[in-house]
């Protein structure tokens, strides 16, 4: 086994990993990044956020074109060339991965394509296609991400059972698509395939879709989806999926759900499981919590002083933009700079139609914490811009501390909510009060 030594080693090449590597290189460190795939970018760039945005854009255009008929503008029924759609998706991914390659070269970041596992607190074994390496390091940042959760009773060896990666592969458009899980991933995939012509059924074990968001915030979306989809069953469990030649039978348990439904494909989107169990962490002193998340402090340092962890592997929220920020912080701390990960607001966004975005405290969380608050809410039906753009299915809301007026949380449901929420992120991070926001003049 060949031995190599590096200054700072990054295990994982997703948004958190490559952000950490680039920042450390900018600070003068000799950096090596280990990634099992032939390209950087992780789930987000290759089989997650980026391909989904490409397909969601198509879905949005298709739906907006259909909405123009009452205004006197009609288009023919759309036809789909899946090969061209996939080619565009792949072109976007290739452009971005090539850009990351260029950034690596410019910063002289060493890349090793292989699978890394710990031998000890100070050694890592890397298995490549050609050889095995033993790497030693001064500092290490773990950024190995997560994978889709699997649930019992599902015949995962059947090609008609999908995870999010298979759904985004877009090999074909099923006539009937059942989605187990009414969270962000499930609903985004539903948005894509409904626009492409699939009949959608959602099954969610909890009592509402997008469980973390306030009910009044997501209500415009839920109301619309109930009209569009074949069925939405909340408080319902999928006991098993039976694979037959002619289709898939889902056996359900829920007060308002049928005993069975039929589908041509089933997406399982019930959450993510961290990959801490795949890196030989049992060979180290690194501590995990009961859920397998790596325990870190505000500086993203583990209980082993020279080992840091970032992104999904340290727990919720499992979001690429959180991982990227953590990567920069971890590299700065590892390089001797004063830094900490202490955000007041990490935005969550469902890129559905309409979009749902929120930051800070929800009403339910504020009540559970015993925080007295005041709420401002504005229906988009009263917005001239929204009405003119056929985007009146929406609402904006904000929560303020009752005593100080300080912004506690905010949410937007509507077109481009994912962009609009950024102003609220800045306001919350800067400690804005209601008067600050009220005195800010916005364009009309």
First to last CA, the chain: 66
Cβ atoms 304, 297 nearer than 8 A: no
Strand, coil or helix: 194:
helix
Tokens of 354: 């309409």
Q: At what angle do helices 49-67 and 82-107 cross, to 10 degrees?
A: 140
Helices (H), 205-339: 215-228, 320-334
CB atoms within 10 A of CB 193: 22
Q: How far is 117 from 134, CA to CA, in rounded Å? A: 10
Query: Would residue 444 show up in a list of annotated catalytic residues for this protein?
Result: yes
Q: How far is 176 from 296, CA to CA, in rounded Å? A: 44
Cβ atoms 218, 183 nearer than 8 A: no
253 Cβ neighbours under 8 A, 6+ residues apart: 236, 237, 239
Tokens of 62: 């298709």
CB atoms within 10 A of CB 10: 33
Helices (H), 40-147: 42-47, 49-67, 82-107
Q: How far is 308 from 21, CA to CA, in rounded Å? A: 13
Q: How far is 173 from 410, CA to CA, in rounded Å? A: 36
Q: Extract the runs of DSSP E, i.e. beta strands, from 380-420.
A: 395-401, 407-414
Q: How far is 101 from 137, CA to CA, in rounded Å? A: 23
Q: Which residue of the set 57, 194, 251, 444 is catalytic? A: 444
Cβ atoms 273, 288 nearer than 8 A: no
Cβ atoms 192, 56 nearer than 8 A: yes
Q: How far is 46 from 42, CA to CA, in rounded Å? A: 6
Q: How far is 248 from 246, CA to CA, in rounded Å? A: 7
Q: How far is 117 from 125, CA to CA, in rounded Å? A: 5
Residues labelled catalytic: 444
């Amino acid at each position: 086994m060949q031995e190599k030594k590096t200054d700072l080693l990054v295990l994982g090449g997703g948004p958190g990993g490559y952000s950490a590597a680039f920042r450390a290189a900018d600070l003068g460190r000799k950096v090596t990044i280990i990634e099992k795939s032939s390209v950087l970018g992780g789930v987000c760039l290759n089989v997650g956020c980026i391909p989904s945005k490409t397909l969601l854009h198509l879905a949005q255009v298709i739906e907006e074109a259909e909405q123009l008929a009452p205004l006197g503008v009609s288009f023919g029924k759309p036809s789909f060339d899946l090969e061209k759609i996939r080619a565009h998706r792949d072109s976007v991914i290739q452009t971005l991965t090539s850009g990351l390659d260029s950034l690596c070269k410019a910063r002289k970041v060493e890349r090793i394509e292989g699978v890394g596992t710990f031998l000890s607190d100070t050694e890592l074994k890397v298995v490549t296609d050609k050889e095995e390496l033993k790497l030693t390091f001064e500092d290490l940042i773990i950024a190995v991400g997560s994978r889709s959760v699997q649930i019992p009773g599902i015949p995962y060896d059947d090609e008609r059972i999908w995870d999010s990666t298979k759904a985004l592969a877009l090999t074909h458009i099923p006539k009937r698509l059942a989605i187990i899980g009414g969270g962000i991933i499930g609903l985004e995939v539903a948005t894509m395939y409904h626009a492409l012509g699939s009949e959608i059924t959602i099954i969610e074990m909890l009592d509402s879709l997008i469980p973390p968001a306030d009910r009044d915030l997501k209500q415009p979306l839920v109301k619309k989806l109930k009209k569009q989809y074949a069925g939405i069953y909340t408080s319902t469990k999928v006991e098993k999926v039976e694979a037959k030649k002619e289709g898939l039978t889902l056996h359900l348990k829920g007060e308002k759900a049928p005993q069975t439904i039929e589908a041509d494909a089933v997406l399982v989107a019930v959450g993510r499981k961290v990959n801490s169990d795949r890196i030989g962490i049992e060979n180290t002193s690194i501590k995990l919590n009961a859920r397998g998340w790596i325990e870190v402090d505000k500086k993203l340092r583990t209980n082993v002083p020279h080992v840091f962890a970032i992104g999904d592997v340290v727990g919720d929220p499992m979001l690429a933009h959180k991982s990227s920020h953590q990567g920069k912080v971890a590299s700065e701390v590892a390089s001797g700079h004063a830094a900490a990960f202490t955000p007041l607001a990490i935005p969550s966004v469902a890129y559905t139609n309409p979009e749902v975005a929120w930051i800070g405290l929800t009403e339910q969380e504020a009540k559970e914490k015993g925080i007295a608050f005041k709420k401002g809410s504005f229906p988009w039906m009263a917005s001239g811009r929204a009405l003119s753009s056929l985007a009146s299915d929406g609402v904006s809301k904000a929560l303020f501390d009752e005593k100080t007026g300080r912004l506690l949380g905010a949410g937007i449901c509507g077109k481009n909510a994912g962009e609009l929420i950024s102003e609220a992120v800045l306001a919350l991070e800067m400690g804005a009060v209601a008067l600050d926001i009220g005195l800010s003049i916005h364009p009309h």
